[in-house]
């Protein structure tokens, strides 16, 4: 997923550079700015995903499993509370 996002980011930044070079004389840089912003957002998202995966990899497997179980319990508890209030 993160590799795909990095590739999309690079493609978007290349398109932005191309659009800026085309619109250099006219001053109409809207499409270049759009691709630039999309590229930056994709780059940040890919970096966050990469950081999150590295963080989970450095933790011990037992602590990760415990966190997953706690999250599952909390989500089940919230779901049961919502079902109880719907009746």
Range of the domain at 28: 2-86
For residue 28, what pLDDT band results from cuts at 50, 70 and 90? Answer: confident
The pLDDT value given to residue 62:
63
Q: Which residue has the higher pLDDT, 86 or 43?
A: 43
Q: What's the DSSP call for residue 59? A: S
* Rounded Cα–Cα distance for residues 15 and 7 (Å): 12
How many residues can be counted in the chain? 87
CB 9 within 8 A of CB 43: yes
Residue 17 has pLDDT above 60, yes or no: yes
Q: At what angle do helices 2-22 and 30-58 cross, to 10 degrees?
A: 160
Q: What's the DSSP call for residue 27? A: -
Structural domain count, the chain: 1
List, for residues 31-40, the tens digit of each pLDDT value. 888 888 998 9
């Amino acid at each position: 997923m993160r590799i795909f996002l990095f590739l999309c980011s690079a493609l978007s930044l290349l398109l932005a550079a191309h659009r800026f070079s085309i619109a250099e004389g006219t001053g109409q840089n809207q499409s270049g700015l759009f691709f630039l912003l999309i590229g930056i957002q994709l780059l940040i998202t890919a970096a966050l995903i990469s950081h999150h995966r590295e963080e989970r990899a450095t933790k011990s497997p037992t602590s990760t499993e415990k966190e997953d179980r706690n999250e599952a319990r909390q989500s089940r508890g919230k779901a049961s509370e919502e079902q109880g209030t719907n009746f």
